[in-house]
Structure 1
Amino acid sequence: YNSCVIAFGATGCGKSHTIFGTNQDRGLLPRISETIFHNWNMEAGQQMLVKVSYLELYNEKARDLLKPEDPDNGKAASLEVREHPKAGIFVEGLTRSVASNAEEVLRLVDFGHKIRVVGSTNMNAHSSRSHAIVTLHLE
């Protein structure tokens, strides 16, 4: 199965809050992560692997938020979006980190969230200037 959640709207309208939330008021991603692992644990004998990827799109360039810098030159590598005839659209070289519970999913996303491109606008002093795509791959 595939599913997609998109938060769309003007600066300051609550897109990030809806997806990520806070510790006191959890957003969709923490709730979905907890549900995935809760339901998986309820299925006795069921094997599942959860991998997380976190991608930023900024100025028409893709950047891996789970591997922010190239160890050879200390700069963020620009990734290429490709299309495979059978697998469809994918980002070549994008990190997929294994998460064994919902807390690990959120830890990975928090790591990537801290290095996203932000800037100020008239509506929000810490507005993101990019688009972000968090993907949970269930295998």
Structure 2
Amino acid sequence: MKIRIINKSKNTLPAYETLHAAGMDLRADLDERVMLKPMERKLIATGLYIELPEGFEAQIRPRSGLAFKHGIGIVNSPGTIDADYRGEIKVLLINYSEQHFEINTGDRIAQMVIARHERAVWEEVETLNETQRGEGGYGHTGIG
């Protein structure tokens, strides 16, 4: 699938790092370094603008290495970029650790997965079909 992209950043285009990777790394595009304090969140620019085909979204997800090694996550994970959005892709990072975290231009800050989606059409009814689970919600199957 081809996706139209404008790259106003100082970085190369996002790319799949391995043959079977689902996501492409997004890199920070900053005028100056950003220091993310503990429990602080900031919107980090990428300098990328995309035009997705109708019926697709771009999901912005945390990078597992940043989460494990530094406690860096994404507040609205996964973030969604809709097919009709034409603004710059920005990533809302949060620092869950107790240490300051420095972000520089070119740093890999998130991953982007392109996914197909459906549009639902509601059908209002009085009852729903029964299932074995029924109304069992949070924790209904026990601990763990």
Fold in common (TM above 0.5): no
Higher RCO (Cα < 8 Å, 6 or more apart): 2
Smaller-chain TM-score bracket: 0.3 to 0.5
TM-score, length of structure 1 as denominator length: 0.33
TM-score, length of structure 2 as denominator length: 0.33
